[in-house]
A and B are shown apart, each in its own frame.
Chain A
């Protein structure tokens, strides 16, 4: 065989084992009393625990940050989103095991298989959200790169001089163009529009240089601005809000008498929707702002109906609240770090605007302080965004894999 070198990794049994390894894994570590009810109970318990760990501790209405309960991360921070994705992966694994167990016992009638298929169809709809979120994260990294130029220029040792201010202004101006572009794509106004109007006033370096003007005609068809964004690998007509609706469509709590898979499938549908919604809310993506309307949330389960209902509902409420907060409503993303980036950028812009040249005393201290703040958030983003992007991919691949390996159908236990 001519090309085999990469095959070693591609066909390793773990990536394509048809649930076999899962089964044995499960058999090894839980001496199951067996029986559907025990399984169901265990599933729901684990599910509830996973969600519970995501709950922020004492939730305070308005102000400051660190309300970390379970893991200590603030809701919608990069770290929190990563834990949310982890929790989803965990739940999905539990679900796979549950289904595999039921099949092994022969306790999965046609109706049950249909439910499994239904969940996988729903999960496939989340793939586009994963792609959009990955692009969104990359977009945020681009913002970070520009913001970091501005911040690090101003934090260079020695006094701040006009050249540095000019350079910082230019970076901030380019950043504002990106933000405007992305906010326009997300369909909201806010900080970016503030920056946009600002740009004309204070960043208005003579951009009407003929070099640009002479090309404007040629390039305007495809690009309207210097740093045009257009880095979505999903098509621009794609709408996060429509996608979320599709994911949540028909998600209804099973009636009491519906046994078997109905409850786990419903639970998975709920958490899938929650994760997709959180991703869309957190990072820029097309038509994001419409998606944030809370009424797109699917019908919520009754609090007492499932052990995992209370944590899920609390999470939904918290996310919805975040979306409605005045200072966040028009943001490019609810991700905490984005918020801080926007705030710090604005603060730095103001500080620069207010600073007379040459800079003295308090003014210079203001600029430096704002720059330091911005530098800090940039550093946090650099550390956090890459792993976040990887994890979004992981969720994506897991969903694809479960489709590819046919875990949505009962074919492997026939005969």
Chain B
């Protein structure tokens, strides 16, 4: 691997350590996993980095060694295997017999060897050479077809070679560090082979090096040191040459599978059945999802491409065995990761799940284009298809959750009224929810696309003046559903003006939230105009409904001709006083949450009421019969002051929001 590649790898590993490692031991585990990708490179480097960072403290911990070996020492590389010597040209049977006998002697030595042949590169070379000779001899005998007995012997010998090669092959893949002698004084020598994964290896309590986070997953990890890869490739070539390609592919998959399983497990991912996911409390599932997303990226962006590369190098020029081996090695873990996506999709459509499912969907979607080179061959096409399938399923799930929101709004019962006609929790919930959803506009639009009109198509005609993207239509539809639900809820107020206040408050809140976010773009000007005129209408309805009595009492039939007797005027004044008391008593508990709106409504009332009241007073004052013992309880300024104190139940209302059906979710706390 190139030097900058190594740096990237280190940075990535450290980034992963930082982002995934929630506990010290977990971090240590992950480190170890990655260190095992390449014993001499990564771990060595990691600890070298740390040694450099904490140079002073190093002396005791044996870090000096690490420092020395920050440059990875090349393992003693076996010389490139000899080109199979051309089989002696003489076809004489006796000579072939001699050859087979010699090879038998040589090979028997090797296949009965009680240590790995590849532990000694000279042995390995000699063995490979013998195998090449043998393969050539078998081919020659086969072609000649004259000495059946000798061919049988050679073939039998070949099968023994292959069995031994398979063992060596597996050993080289599974435990490359054992085969290639560790660099003198190097890191691997500190550890006994078996304790690789033991927690108690003396590094647990040291600080973990943290690098700048990298978001770049464009990293390939070399699972095996280059020397091992070439050894393994040499063996694979012999096995395929001898017609043992299928055995070789099976052995490869079996050898890699354990590592892959363990890597995924160490990313904190364990198999969950769909049933478990289905019955898991959301908080726990959310935690699982938070772990799944980075693990998914790690696996598909680093682990699997690295496996692909390793496999391609081991089986270089030996198609299709490499493809077979690759799929057999990674299949289970790919499917297990995907299965979690299916499980989450099928679990529940509760609205609060939207955002995590979007995260999952985006992780999978962003990955898809990069999978093509990894899953290019026909054998892994099925795996590629599974990843697309889970992407679609998650997309559908997002749509389903959106539908469910609508459904919940529609069905939210109008049981308890919000005191004072304040903002209903459902309005807050839905608006904040939609605002947050707008943050994922692109994705939502993507999954909604092509689904126009699927929701109550007949009921909502696409308004050409309204933004017409699928998402916009969905959101407009949700707003309509919310509007209808609020109207239903307003009916439970026995006081019609209070119902108007309620609608006004909620309408104003909706306007505010829409203006304050990208929702405004989606819903468009026309929608906004309509909404504002609704609020105006409710305001007028309130004024008419609540103050009509007052206004009619204040009517004096116009100035000029003294049509009303003083007595009647005094009666009117008394009635006005009564009404005012009554209204103030009731309506001081009412609330208009929006300050501006509150001012406007008060001003409008003040305008009409105060001037009419002043008219009445002046009529009374000008009436000679009434003027003598006229007692005016409220000055016009008093009346104005009373009006100015209406709708201030704010703090009281905020606390007693009534029963929240939707509001009691993760959402209300997040927004």
A interface residues, Cβ below 8 angstroms from B: 1-7, 9-13, 15-18, 20, 124-125, 127-128, 131, 134-135, 138, 142, 145-146, 148-149, 159, 161-164, 166-167, 170-171, 174, 205-206, 209-212, 214-215, 217-219, 221-223, 226-228, 230-236, 238, 243, 246, 358, 393, 396-397, 399-401, 403-406, 409, 411-412, 414-415
B335 to chain A: closest residue by CB = A233
Q: Give B476 Cβ to nearest chain A Cβ, in Å.
A: 15
Query: Could you jot down 15 A-B contacts, CB within 8 Å?
Result: A15-B392, A18-B403, A18-B454, A125-B275, A128-B274, A142-B250, A166-B163, A167-B247, A209-B167, A218-B196, A222-B258, A235-B272, A400-B393, A409-B404, A409-B407
With A166-B160, A226-B254 already in contact, the answer to whether A404 and B396 are too (CB < 8 A) is: yes
The answer on a CB contact under 8 Å between B454 and A231 is no
Q: Give A386 Cβ to nearest chain B Cβ, in Å.
A: 8
B291 interface residue per 8 A CB criterion: no
The answer on a CB contact under 8 Å between B396 and A16 is yes
Q: Which of A7, A125, A145 contacts B246 (CB 8 A)?
A: A145
A230-B259 Cα distance, complex, nearest whole Å: 12
Q: Which of B247, B336, B388, B400 contacts A149 (CB 8 A)?
A: B247
A124-B134 Cα distance, complex, nearest whole Å: 58
Q: Which of A17, A219, A231, A412 contacts B331 (CB 8 A)?
A: A231
B157 interface residue per 8 A CB criterion: yes
A393-B156 Cα distance, complex, nearest whole Å: 44
The answer on a CB contact under 8 Å between B451 and A163 is no
The answer on a CB contact under 8 Å between A414 and B407 is yes
Q: Give B136 Cβ to nearest chain A Cβ, in Å.
A: 16
Q: Which residues of A contact B323 (CB under 8 A)?
A: none
B661 interface residue per 8 A CB criterion: no
A408 to chain B: closest residue by CB = B349
- B391-439 contacts to A, CB under 8 A, are 391-393, 395-397, 399-400, 403-404, 406-407, 410-411
The answer on a CB contact under 8 Å between B262 and A222 is yes
The answer on a CB contact under 8 Å between B278 and A124 is yes
The answer on a CB contact under 8 Å between B193 and A218 is yes
The answer on a CB contact under 8 Å between B115 and A138 is no
Q: Give B386 Cβ to nearest chain A Cβ, in Å.
A: 8
Q: Which residues of B contact A170 (CB under 8 A)?
A: 159, 163, 247
B271 interface residue per 8 A CB criterion: yes
A159-B156 Cα distance, complex, nearest whole Å: 13
B343 to chain A: closest residue by CB = A127
Of A134, A215, A235, most buried by chain B (CB within 10 Å of CB) is A215
B83 interface residue per 8 A CB criterion: no
Q: Which residues of B contact A222 (CB under 8 A)?
A: 258, 261-262
A406-B402 Cα distance, complex, nearest whole Å: 11
The answer on a CB contact under 8 Å between B395 and A10 is yes
A87-B391 Cα distance, complex, nearest whole Å: 27
Q: Give A46 Cβ to nearest chain B Cβ, in Å.
A: 26
B346 interface residue per 8 A CB criterion: yes
Q: Which of A18, A164, A234 contacts B159 (CB 8 A)?
A: A164
The answer on a CB contact under 8 Å between B369 and A163 is no
How many positions in chain B have a CB within 8 Å of any CB in the partner chain? 91
B155 interface residue per 8 A CB criterion: yes
B interface residues, Cβ below 8 angstroms from A: 112-116, 148, 151-160, 162-164, 167-168, 170-171, 174-175, 178, 193-194, 196-197, 244, 246-247, 250, 254, 257-258, 261-262, 270-275, 278, 328, 331-333, 335-336, 339, 342-343, 345-346, 349, 365-366, 368-369, 386, 388-389, 391-393, 395-397, 399-400, 403-404, 406-407, 410-411, 442, 445-451, 454-456, 459
With A3-B365, A127-B274 already in contact, the answer to whether A400 and B342 are too (CB < 8 A) is: yes
Q: Which residues of B contact A205 (CB under 8 A)?
A: 163
A260-B200 Cα distance, complex, nearest whole Å: 65
A199-B455 Cα distance, complex, nearest whole Å: 63
Q: Which residues of B contact A236 (CB under 8 A)?
A: 271
B278 to chain A: closest residue by CB = A124
A280-B130 Cα distance, complex, nearest whole Å: 49
With A124-B274, A149-B246 already in contact, the answer to whether A401 and B155 are too (CB < 8 A) is: no
With A212-B167, A215-B175 already in contact, the answer to whether A3 and B116 are too (CB < 8 A) is: no
Q: Which residues of A contact B246 (CB under 8 A)?
A: 145, 148-149
Q: Give B350 Cβ to nearest chain A Cβ, in Å.
A: 12
The answer on a CB contact under 8 Å between B346 and A403 is yes
The answer on a CB contact under 8 Å between A219 and B174 is yes
Of A18, A146, A206, A211, most buried by chain B (CB within 10 Å of CB) is A211
A33-B459 Cα distance, complex, nearest whole Å: 27
Q: Which residues of A contact B400 (CB under 8 A)?
A: 403-406
The answer on a CB contact under 8 Å between B393 and A404 is yes
A409-B366 Cα distance, complex, nearest whole Å: 32
Of B152, B178, B410, B448, most buried by chain A (CB within 10 Å of CB) is B152
A125 to chain B: closest residue by CB = B275
The answer on a CB contact under 8 Å between A7 and B449 is yes
Q: Which of B114, B154, B197, B393 contacts A209 (CB 8 A)?
A: B114
Q: Which residues of A contact B174 (CB under 8 A)?
A: 215, 219
A146-B331 Cα distance, complex, nearest whole Å: 18
A215-B116 Cα distance, complex, nearest whole Å: 11
A340-B272 Cα distance, complex, nearest whole Å: 34
Q: Give B396 Cβ to nearest chain A Cβ, in Å.
A: 5
A235-B193 Cα distance, complex, nearest whole Å: 29
Q: Which of B116, B271, B342, B449 contacts A127 (CB 8 A)?
A: B342
Q: Which of A13, A124, A163 contacts B346 (CB 8 A)?
A: A124
The answer on a CB contact under 8 Å between A1 and B175 is no
Q: Which residues of B contact A230 (CB under 8 A)?
A: 257, 261, 332
Q: Which residues of A contact B273 (CB under 8 A)?
A: 128, 131, 234-235, 238
Q: Which residues of B contact A393 (CB under 8 A)?
A: 386, 389
Q: Give A157 Cβ to nearest chain B Cβ, in Å.
A: 11
Q: Give 3 nearest A-B pairs by CB, closest first.
A: A163-B155, A161-B152, A411-B407
With A211-B171, A404-B400 already in contact, the answer to whether A167 and B450 are too (CB < 8 A) is: no
Q: Which residues of A contact B193 (CB under 8 A)?
A: 214, 217-218
With A146-B250, A209-B167, A222-B262 already in contact, the answer to whether A2 and B395 are too (CB < 8 A) is: no
Q: Which residues of A contact B442 (CB under 8 A)?
A: 1-2
With A11-B447, A131-B339 already in contact, the answer to whether A232 and B332 are too (CB < 8 A) is: yes
Q: Which residues of B contact A20 (CB under 8 A)?
A: 454
Q: Which residues of A contact B328 (CB under 8 A)?
A: 142
The answer on a CB contact under 8 Å between A7 and B339 is no
The answer on a CB contact under 8 Å between B454 and A17 is yes
Q: Which residues of A contact B450 (CB under 8 A)?
A: 7, 11-13
Q: Which residues of B contact A10 (CB under 8 A)?
A: 388, 391-392, 395-396, 447
With A16-B396, A161-B156, A218-B194 already in contact, the answer to whether A415 and B250 are too (CB < 8 A) is: no
A20 to chain B: closest residue by CB = B454
Q: Which residues of A contact B162 (CB under 8 A)?
A: 167
With A13-B450, A161-B151, A400-B346 already in contact, the answer to whether A215 and B171 are too (CB < 8 A) is: yes
Q: Which of B262, B275, B349, B393 contacts A406 (CB 8 A)?
A: B349
Q: Which residues of A contact B257 (CB under 8 A)?
A: 230-231
A5 to chain B: closest residue by CB = B369
A10-B392 Cα distance, complex, nearest whole Å: 5
Q: Give A343 Cβ to nearest chain B Cβ, in Å.
A: 23
A198-B348 Cα distance, complex, nearest whole Å: 50
The answer on a CB contact under 8 Å between A128 and B454 is no
A400-B403 Cα distance, complex, nearest whole Å: 16
Q: Which residues of A contact B395 (CB under 8 A)?
A: 7, 10-11
Q: Give B370 Cβ to nearest chain A Cβ, in Å.
A: 11
A235-B396 Cα distance, complex, nearest whole Å: 26
The answer on a CB contact under 8 Å between B332 and A16 is no
A163-B393 Cα distance, complex, nearest whole Å: 51
The answer on a CB contact under 8 Å between A401 and B407 is no
- Other A-B contacts than A149-B246, A209-B167, A393-B386, 5 sampled, CB-CB below 8 A, are A11-B450, A214-B178, A217-B194, A393-B389, A409-B407
A130 to chain B: closest residue by CB = B274
Q: Give A384 Cβ to nearest chain B Cβ, in Å.
A: 16
With A233-B271, A235-B270, A400-B346 already in contact, the answer to whether A15 and B196 are too (CB < 8 A) is: no
A221-B5 Cα distance, complex, nearest whole Å: 33
